Amino acid sequence: MEWPACLNEFEKLLLRMDTPRVAIDNAVCPNSTLVKVDSARKHGILLEAVQVITDLNLSIKKAYISSDGRWFMDVFHVTDLNGNKLKDESVISYMEQSLGSIQFTRSCEYKGVTALELTGTDRIGLLSEVFAVLADLNCTVMDAKVWTHNGRIASLIYVKDCDSGCQIEDSHRIRRIESRLRPVLKGDNDIRSAKTTVSMTVTHTERRLHQMMFDDRDYERTPSTSYDAPDVSVQNWNERGYSVVNIQCKDRPKILFDVVCTLTDMEYVVFHATINTQGSRAYLEFYIRHTDGTPISSDAEKQRVVQCLQASIRRRASQVARLELYAEDRPSLLADVTRTFRENGLNVARAEISTTENKALNIFYVTDAEGYSPDSKTIDAVIEKIGVSNLKVKELPLIYHQNAERKEAVGAGGAMLLSLGSLVRKNLYNLGLIRSYS
């Protein structure tokens, strides 16, 4: 590595010490790619490493994390979503570059857009109303992510002016957008405040959604269903001054990210951890302390940690149908599609919306009004209305195929769409590692 001429040898040594060392090996393990990251320990470094891997839509099947003094070592056993070793050299190269630079401040993943942060009471048709308001205010939705949990909704929506295609910066217009959306989010019977703000901060989208849900205290409410509740326990290891967190739950992509994100934002430091998956189950164990080096001090705090971790896992876990819409982008497209969902009694539990070169790729995770998987007739009616060529069923719970009892606790099945996330495709394209991300 070439160092600037102005640096002395001591400054170069400090840079070498702070720069993570990354090794990616496909020969060690027969069923996974081994990813090893050695770095100086600092708060949040584990989350940044996990974030890089999960943003590539990769699964972490096993992990060993250990901190020795001021140094941190992470070992991840990684596969693609189909359970295979990584073979795409562009993905491996991108991951190596990203992991090697996680100590540096990253640029914003969304530029030239206005970011709207929305929280409020979830209900059928809410997203339809939000997108209808934005269309009426001449806003084009470029990207968005929506989560719902325990009757609450959090969303990050990135918009531009429909006519100019530019970021919305006029303060009067921003206040108008906020004032129009706030009553929609609040609803008729909302005893809690709805929030509509324009964000100027640079934060990873899914991490920000966790923070918004946490700030909204979604973890305090009793879940509407007992579907696949995660088992979380917290105990103190007084001899070593650690609090030990054990989690057993159904395995799914991004579980490690969701858990580490929550621990990090609650100001806990992970010193050691072991993650293992067996079949459809995930087992996670963390040895943590507060940032001041002390363990958890009370039973009330332990209970709060349990509630927050359970909520972080359940925010993505529900009996849903996954629908993908790929179509020419146009004004009111999202409002029209989500209105069709509402008219057929479907609720959007989560959504991932992106627009590239006038093409809209929108993923909707939908349930019926009670939070369970919708029946096949409803799905077929929605597809017929929106268009068979545009809307595809990509993933459905087993309940859809088996006509089982609606309230059985069943696992999720069906085909998994193997593709890089839109953000990663854009980054690979910008690096010249792929020809197109459309």
Q: Which of 3-7, 44-48, 197-201, 321-325 has the lowest mean pLDDT?
A: 3-7
Confidence at residue 42, expressed as pLDDT on a 0 to 100 scale: 84
Whether residue 411 is predicted with pLDDT greater than 70 in this model: the reply is no
328 and 268 share one domain:
no
Q: Using the 3D structure, point to which of 259, 283, 314 is the last residue of a domain.
A: 314
Confidence at residue 70, expressed as pLDDT on a 0 to 100 scale: 79
275 and 366 share one domain:
no
Q: Which of 45-54, 195-204, 252-261 has the lowest mean pLDDT?
A: 195-204
Mean pLDDT of 63-70: 86
248 and 304 share one domain:
yes
- Percent of the chain whose pLDDT exceeds 90: 61
Picking from 47, 26, 23, 25, the residue whose alpha carbon sits closest to that of residue 36 is 23
Picking from 225, 78, 210, the residue whose alpha carbon sits closest to that of residue 147 is 210
Whether residue 15 is predicted with pLDDT greater than 90 in this model: the reply is no
Confidence at residue 275, expressed as pLDDT on a 0 to 100 scale: 98
The confidence band for 263, taking pLDDT boundaries of 50, 70 and 90, is very high
For 352-373, write each residue's pLDDT tens digit: 999 888 899 999 999 998 888 8
Confidence at residue 139, expressed as pLDDT on a 0 to 100 scale: 95
Would you say residue 418 lies in a domain? yes
Sheet with strand 33-40: strands edge to edge: 21-25, 33-40, 71-79, 59-68, 268-278, 281-290, 242-250, 231-237
Confidence at residue 101, expressed as pLDDT on a 0 to 100 scale: 83
Would you say residue 4 lies in a domain? no
Picking from 341, 421, 334, 351, the residue whose alpha carbon sits closest to that of residue 159 is 334
The domain spanning residue 329 has which CATH number? 3.30.70.260
Q: Domains in the chain: how many in total?
A: 2
**CB of 400 within 8 A of CB of 373?**
yes
Sheet with strand 321-328: strands edge to edge: 195-199, 114-121, 152-161, 139-149, 347-356, 359-367, 321-328, 391-395
Confidence at residue 19, expressed as pLDDT on a 0 to 100 scale: 77
Would you say residue 296 lies in a domain? yes
Would you say residue 223 lies in a domain? no
265 and 280 share one domain:
yes
271 and 350 share one domain:
no
Residue 51 domain boundaries: 21-106+228-314
Would you say residue 188 lies in a domain? yes
31 and 125 share one domain:
no
Confidence at residue 438, expressed as pLDDT on a 0 to 100 scale: 38
Would you say residue 7 lies in a domain? no
**CB of 103 within 8 A of CB of 18?**
yes
100 and 129 share one domain:
no
Q: Using the 3D structure, point to which of 314, 344, 366 is the last residue of a domain.
A: 314
Whether residue 426 is predicted with pLDDT greater than 60 in this model: the reply is no
274 and 163 share one domain:
no
Would you say residue 8 lies in a domain? no
341 and 284 share one domain:
no
Confidence at residue 335, expressed as pLDDT on a 0 to 100 scale: 94
Would you say residue 10 lies in a domain? no
For 121-164, write each residue's pLDDT tens digit: 999 999 999 999 999 999 999 999 999 999 899 999 999 999 89
345 and 416 share one domain:
yes
423 alpha carbon, distance to own chain's centre? 12
For 201-233, write each residue's pLDDT tens digit: 667 899 999 999 999 999 997 765 555 689 999
Confidence at residue 401, expressed as pLDDT on a 0 to 100 scale: 38
Q: Which of 53-57, 104-108, 251-255, 396-400 has the lowest mean pLDDT?
A: 396-400
327 and 192 share one domain:
yes
Q: Using the 3D structure, point to which of 284, 314, 344 is the last residue of a domain.
A: 314
Confidence at residue 3, expressed as pLDDT on a 0 to 100 scale: 44
120 and 250 share one domain:
no
Cβ count within 10 A of residue 197: 14
Structure tokens at 407: 């309230």
Whether residue 408 is predicted with pLDDT greater than 70 in this model: the reply is no
Dihedral over alpha carbons 325, 326, 332, 334 (to 10 degrees):
30
Q: Which of 18-27, 76-85, 272-281, 391-400 has the lowest mean pLDDT?
A: 391-400
